C-alpha cells in the first residue's frame, strides 16, 4: 500500500479548506493536517530504525515506535507553545487535533491494508489504539498548560511530558502483544484514561471559571 497516495487524498481537501475557514476552524484543520503529516513521517522513521536494529515488528512496536511517535507528536505542540504562547483552550484544542489527525491516518492505513471485514479488529483500532493516540496528545496538552505556570522548569517539564506519554504508549503496545487478559487490559486502558481525562478537564474548567 502506498501511504503517500493516501496522505495526498486526505491532505489536499484540508489544504484547500484552510483559506475558506477562519479562527478555531482553521486552527483545528491545520493541526489535524499536522497530525496526519507526523503519522506519515513516523512510518518512515520507524521503518528505518527497524531495519537498522534488526528488531521484529512486535519488538519495534514496543521499544522504538512509542519513542519516535511521541517525540514527533510533541514537536508541533512544543513549537506552538514556545513561539505563540497560546491560551490554555487553544493549546488543548491543538493537542486534540494532532492526536485525532495521527490516529485517523494510522487507522485508515491499517484498515486499507486488510482486516476490514473483521468488526472486532475495527473496534479495537478505533476505541483502543485510536483513543490511545488521542490521550497521549491530550496529556501533552495538559502538560504544556502546566508548564505555563512554571516556565522556569520548561525543559524539565518537556522531558517529563515526553517520558509520561512514551511510557503510556509503550505499556499499551506491550500489553496488546500478549494474548489473554493482558490484551483486554490494553484495550480498556485508553478508554479508562479518556474517562479520567474528561473528569480532570471538567474540574479544570470549573476552577478556571471561578
Q: How many domains does the chain have?
A: 1
- Dihedral of CA atoms 93, 94, 100, 101 in degrees, nearest 10, equals 150
Q: Quick one: what percent of the chain has pLDDT higher than 90?
A: 44
Mean pLDDT of the chain: 87
C-alpha cell at 104: 485517523
pLDDT tops 80 at residue 155: no
Residues in the chain: 210
SS (H, E, C) 17-72: HHHHCCHHHHHHHHHHHHHHHHHHHHHHHHHHHHHHHCCCHHHHHHHCHHHHHHHH
Domain span at residue 159?
3-209
- Measured CA to CA, the distance from residue 79 to residue 185 in angstroms comes to 34
pLDDT digits (tens, 9 = 90+) for 48-99: 999 999 999 889 988 999 999 999 999 999 899 888 888 888 999 999 999 9
Specify the pLDDT at position 39.
94
pLDDT tops 80 at residue 154: no
Amino acid at each position: 500500500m502506498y501511504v503517500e497516495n493516501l496522505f495526498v487524498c486526505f491532505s489536499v481537501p484540508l489544504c484547500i479548506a484552510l483559506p475558506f475557514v477562519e479562527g478555531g476552524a482553521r486552527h483545528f484543520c491545520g493541526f489535524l493536517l499536522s497530525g496526519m503529516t507526523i503519522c506519515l513521517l513516523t512510518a518512515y522513521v520507524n521503518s528505518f530504525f527497524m531495519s537498522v536494529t534488526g528488531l521484529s515488528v512486535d519488538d519495534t512496536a514496543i521499544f522504538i515506535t512509542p519513542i519516535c511517535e511521541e517525540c514527533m507528536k510533541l514537536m508541533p505542540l512544543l513549537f506552538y507553545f514556545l513561539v505563540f504562547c497560546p491560551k490554555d483552550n487553544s493549546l488543548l484544542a491543538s493537542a486534540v487535533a494532532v492526536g485525532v489527525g495521527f490516529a485517523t491516518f494510522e487507522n485508515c492505513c491499517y484498515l486499507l491494508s486488510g482486516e476490514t471485514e473483521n468488526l472486532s479488529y475495527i473496534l479495537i483500532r478505533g476505541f483502543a489504539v485510536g483513543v490511545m493516540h488521542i490521550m497521549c496528545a491530550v496529556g501533552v496538552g495538559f502538560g504544556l498548560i502546566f508548564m505555563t505556570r512554571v516556565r522556569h522548569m520548561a525543559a524539565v517539564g518537556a522531558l517529563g511530558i515526553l517520558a509520561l506519554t512514551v511510557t503510556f504508549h509503550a505499556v499499551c503496545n506491550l500489553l496488546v502483544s500478549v494474548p489473554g487478559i493482558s490484551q483486554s487490559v490494553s484495550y480498556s486502558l485508553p478508554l479508562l484514561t479518556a474517562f479520567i481525562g474528561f473528569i480532570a478537564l471538567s474540574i479544570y474548567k470549573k476552577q478556571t471559571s471561578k
